[in-house]
Amino acid sequence: MLERLIAFALSQRLLMLVLTLLLAAAGVQALRGLPIDAFPDVSGTQVKLIMKAPGMTPEEVEARIVAPIEQELLGIPRQVMLRSQSKYAIADVTLDFQDGTDVFWARQQVSERLAGVLKDLPANVVGGLAPITTPLGEVFMFTIEGPLSLAEKRTLLDWTIRPQLRGIPGVAEVNTLGGLVRSFEVVPDVTALAARRLSLSQLQAALENNNRNDGAGRLGAGEESLLVRSDGNIRTLDDVRAVSVAARDGMTVRVGDVATVRIGQLTRYGSVTQNGKGEAVEALVLAMRGANAQQVVNEVRDKLALIGKTLPAGTTIKTFYDRGNLVERAVGTVTSALGEATVLVVLLLYLFLGNLRSALVVACILPLAALGTFVLMQAYGLSANLMSLGGLAIAIGMLVDAAVVVVENIEAHGNAHGPKLARLHVIYRAVREVALPVTAGMLVIMIVFLPLLSLQGLEGKLFGPVALTIIFALAASLLLSLTVIPVLASLLLKDHHGDAPKLVQWLERQYRKLLAAALGHGRKVAVGAVAALVLAAVLFPFIGKSFMPTLDEGDIIMQVEKLPSVNLQESARLDMALQQRILAQVPEVARIVARLGSDELGLDPMGLNETDSFLVLKPRAQWRSQDKEVLIDALRAATAGFPGLNISFTQPIEMRTSEMLSGVRGDLAVKIYGPDLKRLGELADAVVTAVQAIPGSEDVLTIKNSGVQYLQVELDRAAVGRAGLNGDQVQNDLRTLVEGRTVGVVVEQGRRLPLLLRGADDLQRSPDLFQQLRLPQEGGEALALGQLAALRMVDGPVKVERENAARMVVVRANVRGRDLVGFVDEAKARVAKQVPLPPGYHMAWGGQFENQQRAAARLMMVVPVALALIFLLLFATLHSVRQALLVFVNIPFALVGGVLALAVTGQYLSVPASVGFIALMGIAVLNGLVMITCFNQLMARGMALSEVVVEGALRRLRPVLMTACITGFGLVPLLLASGPGSEIQKPLAIVVTGGLLSATSLTLILLPLLFRRFGVARQG
């Protein structure tokens, strides 16, 4: 089959050139159409439910909303995890499904189950499915700046800017935060209502029943018809005041007689502060799942530029987070590495081949294989991101392997045969001779990357694109090397080539001496090789293990947790004090935008004691130190003087990724499950104490879940009954006076504003006034709240977290200055010793540690399978078990260099480093296969074994050295890169570079020795 393919290519050279041009055009077109993002979409299929219940406490939300919903949702097919948070006035339920589940199918299943339980929920509960976005969907954030008031800024954002941004393709939602949401507000005068013997429910009913337009039908008027329309909509405050509530003694009681009507604002569950100067209004653009992030960001930028021209004088839009910048920097890191590597590869080709034409013929494989890869990426639905383009950068040295062997053999045959044979026949024979080993070698490298496709979870989504890109590139390279490269060689290379370049001649002379010495002292060489192997085996357990190096996104998120009982105003004041201190003491910080409490959609339902502060940093050139850890230490020092605050630092995407994986922000999450919230809190505090004492621990904390002050109203059922009331009536009146109740919508200039019925501001700020409250009754006197209920202060929970219908608390921690796995092992031992769990309680360890364990377990299972496949391929190629085993000996010795490189540089054994070891296995097998194939060819010609190992090793010196040098130098730009994403690529480049030294030494020195001793079965 391979012979026919080569013969067809050489006999149809014009067709091959045309097909090559078509491939190039298709590749350019595919590259233009590829979605561009900083990272692959690491989110699984996730469906989120947001239910809002104004006024409800966390335990009521859990009992009346979350528990019924969870019981209905448990058991949906392909469901992996069901998590929930019950907080004041909001329930957040998240369902994770198996990878590959269609998100629309999952949403349909959840929607159907939810519809079945809605009838059992309290009447005032609203909400449903969250937008089809991902936890990483926050691609653009900005604030409204200028002289407008907070209410005017929020109105501008809600009714002018937000609708236009939501119309952009790929935008799932625009989340608005901060400011004041304008509303029509009716504040009842309890005394006036009591004097007229009216109840709050009568006032509510009057407002609900007098705010509607309707059609009455059609009337005939001669030859025409008239459409009858009744107009009863409320449009102004005076319309509200004029609404009739009841008739008393022949007089109409209007709303204006028993209430104050004014412009107010919705109840606030959070706020936004900026630069320590005051409150702000912020918007977050959420990209739809699967959208092209770069394209979405570009369209948002363009739309905001157009909107900016229409804003009121002095009002501007100021961006503080733009995912496009990270995308451009991350992709730029890889593309610049690709460009630099390409230049290095071409230079190396010229040095080794000594012929510019030969070097250019081989170099043609780089752009053509890359363009072919882009076509396959588009067909497979991959995006161009840090990881997929990183795969191309990793493979760049391997892409030329097949072409190097083909061109080098064409040159060797050209010199050997001279003018005796036809030019095309010489090329055909040269390519045919190496086609089988080259194909087998490339297949081997592709097979070693197959285990990466079996990885699950975050690691699978990150490194699956790497493996696919490498496999696509190698497949394209192999096909082109057997078809296009021979055609180009026939057109561009001369019939006769001079001697090898001086560099290669010098290398051959030195190698001949070295090989002769090695063959003469085989025992010493073997002992040295085994010693190196033992050294690596001894060092390996001391190399720390981690999941993934931390990617520097360029921005910092400061997470602040305050006392649970803090109110909104005090929480905002503390945030601004922190901001002022940071801006005064840390000059690297240019701007701070802090979000406190819950957002508008409820996608991130924090409490009033929780703040995410976005720190916008100045360019690195203006930093006092280039080390980001030094900057974070400075931030810790600046914020250390605030007692009672828990402060931790993370990054935007890192924070959302951690939340998505385990519902927790941090490297490590210790989850404790059990029925009693108080006991769970005690256990969590004990775990925090144990983990904090471990070296390397950082930001160890559990969210304080007690300390919220509840003013508990305990109804006296007998007293309520004597008053002719029921519990619902009393509770509804209390909710109306404190939280407020939406009783309609007012359309004002096309804007739909809520119509609220709510008690006076003084009542909401004073527990004493609340205790003196009198509830007006229909047809009777007002009743003091004290007559109907007993009031007492109690402590209650901030929130109730559940996982798979079981209550839990979480201790989160970050790890700094040591490996994650070693830290967790020590933490497990210490917690098991110091924190005994009572019956009915259990503990689970998750976070980034869980990913590392899962990835390691999966690779331990799948890599041996891949090695078995490689062995079968080698046996099919070499037809010898002993020779296949000889090639396999290359693998452990190749890994020696990688282990030593990790130990010397202080890098941890992470998933990227594991990918480097996988790549090393492929390179080692390829080199061994090429060498042994040459030995077999020489033996088939009748050459003596002692001559075979010397002559074969010398013949394969150039291709082996070229493979090692080109692969190694191709990774140098990744070793030296410093942009976003370089942290992930660097461990891989270190392992491969170090491993290439040992693998190449083994192939050139040890393998000839082993082949002479074990390569051929001895007779007799």
Express each pLDDT in 117-140 by its tens digit.
988 898 888 888 988 887 678 889
Express each pLDDT in 348-389 by its tens digit.
888 887 778 888 888 888 889 989 999 999 888 888 877 787
Contacts of 169 (CB under 8 A, 6+ apart): 291, 296, 299
Mean pLDDT to the nearest integer, 29-53: 84
State the Cα angle at 813 between 539 and 577, rounded to 5°: 135
Q: Is residue 464 pLDDT above 50, yes or no?
A: yes
Q: In this predicted structure, what is the pLDDT of residue 939?
A: 85
Give the lowest-confidence range in 17-26, 364-373, 845-854. Answer: 845-854
Q: Is residue 429 pLDDT above 50, yes or no?
A: yes
Same fold, 183-218+231-265+709-796 and 501-542+880-1020: no
User: Which residues lie across from 560 on neighbouring strands?
Assistant: 611, 647
Q: In this predicted structure, what is the pLDDT of residue 1019?
A: 52
Q: Is residue 186 pLDDT above 50, yes or no?
A: yes
Question: In the chain, pLDDT over 90 holds for what percent of residues?
Answer: 20
Per DSSP, 734 falls in state H
Which is more confidently placed, 581 or 564? 581
Mean pLDDT to the nearest integer, 571-597: 93
Q: In this predicted structure, what is the pLDDT of residue 587?
A: 92
Confidence of residue 870 (pLDDT cuts 50, 70, 90): confident
Mean pLDDT to the nearest integer, 871-890: 82
Confidence of residue 1020 (pLDDT cuts 50, 70, 90): very low
Q: Is residue 642 pLDDT above 70, yes or no?
A: yes
- Count CB neighbours of 680 within 10 A: 23
Q: Let me know: does 667 contact 847? Beta carbons within 8 Å.
A: yes
Q: Is residue 419 pLDDT above 60, yes or no?
A: no
Which has the closest alpha carbon to 756: 268, 196, 254, 257? 268
Q: In this predicted structure, what is the pLDDT of residue 497?
A: 57
**CA distance readout (Å), 400 to 408, 481, 505, 955, 959:** 12, 9, 22, 18, 10
Which has the closest alpha carbon to 98: 513, 617, 456, 524? 456
**CA distance readout (Å), 842 to 319, 672, 673, 838, 913:** 45, 6, 5, 8, 34
Name the residue ranges covered by the structural domains of the chain. 1-33+359-498, 183-218+231-265+709-796, 501-542+880-1020
**CA distance readout (Å), 989 to 30, 213, 264, 983:** 28, 70, 60, 10
Q: Let me know: does 795 contact 712? Beta carbons within 8 Å.
A: no
Express each pLDDT in 233-292 by its tens digit.
888 999 999 999 888 777 889 999 999 999 988 888 889 999 999 999 999 999 988 788
Write out the CATH class of domain 183-218+231-265+709-796.
alpha beta
Confidence of residue 749 (pLDDT cuts 50, 70, 90): confident
Q: In this predicted structure, what is the pLDDT of residue 445?
A: 83
Q: Is residue 850 pLDDT above 90, yes or no?
A: no
3-class SS of residue 224: strand
Mean pLDDT to the nearest integer, 844-863: 78
Q: In this predicted structure, what is the pLDDT of residue 19?
A: 92
d(CA 658, CA 654) in angstroms, rounded, equals: 6
Q: In this predicted structure, what is the pLDDT of residue 40?
A: 78
Q: In this predicted structure, what is the pLDDT of residue 18?
A: 92
Q: Is residue 675 pLDDT above 80, yes or no?
A: yes
d(CA 831, CA 844) in angstroms, rounded, equals: 12
User: Which residues lie across from 816 on neighbouring strands?
Assistant: none
For the residues of 380-401, what is the DSSP string, one character each? HT--B-HHHHHHHHHHHHHHHH
Which is more confidently placed, 921 or 1017? 921
Q: How far is CA 760 from the centre of its chain?
A: 45
Confidence of residue 420 (pLDDT cuts 50, 70, 90): low
Mean pLDDT to the nearest integer, 379-405: 81
**CA distance readout (Å), 919 to 58, 468, 963, 988, 989:** 52, 13, 13, 9, 10
Which has the closest alpha carbon to 143: 464, 796, 686, 591? 591
The CATH classification number of 1-33+359-498 equals 1.20.1640.10
Whole-model pTM: value is 0.79
Which is more confidently placed, 171 or 349? 171
Confidence of residue 197 (pLDDT cuts 50, 70, 90): confident
| Helix, strand, coil share of the chain (percent; to 5) | 55, 20, 20
Q: In this predicted structure, what is the pLDDT of residue 495?
A: 63
Q: Is residue 189 pLDDT above 50, yes or no?
A: yes
Structural Rg of the chain based on CA atoms: 36
Q: In this predicted structure, what is the pLDDT of residue 959?
A: 78
d(CA 283, CA 145) in angstroms, rounded, equals: 12
Mean pLDDT of the chain: 85
Mean pLDDT to the nearest integer, 40-44: 77
Express each pLDDT in 532-559 by its tens digit.
888 888 888 878 777 767 777 778 899 8
Write a three-state SS string for 750-785: CEEEEEEECCCHHHHHCHHHHHCCEEEECCEEEEEH
d(CA 87, CA 609) in angstroms, rounded, equals: 12
Per DSSP, 500 falls in state P
Q: In this predicted structure, what is the pLDDT of residue 981?
A: 64
Question: In the chain, pLDDT over 70 holds for what percent of residues?
Answer: 96
Q: Is residue 601 pLDDT above 70, yes or no?
A: no
Q: Is residue 665 pLDDT above 60, yes or no?
A: no
Q: Does the 501-542+880-1020 domain belong in CATH 3.30.1360.70?
A: no
d(CA 93, CA 83) in angstroms, rounded, equals: 6
Contacts of 854 (CB under 8 A, 6+ apart): 456, 457, 459
d(CA 446, CA 470) in angstroms, rounded, equals: 8
Mean pLDDT to the nearest integer, 737-751: 87
C-alpha torsion angle, residues 835, 825, 855, 84 (rounded to 10): 20
Confidence of residue 634 (pLDDT cuts 50, 70, 90): very high
Which is more confidently placed, 985 or 961? 961
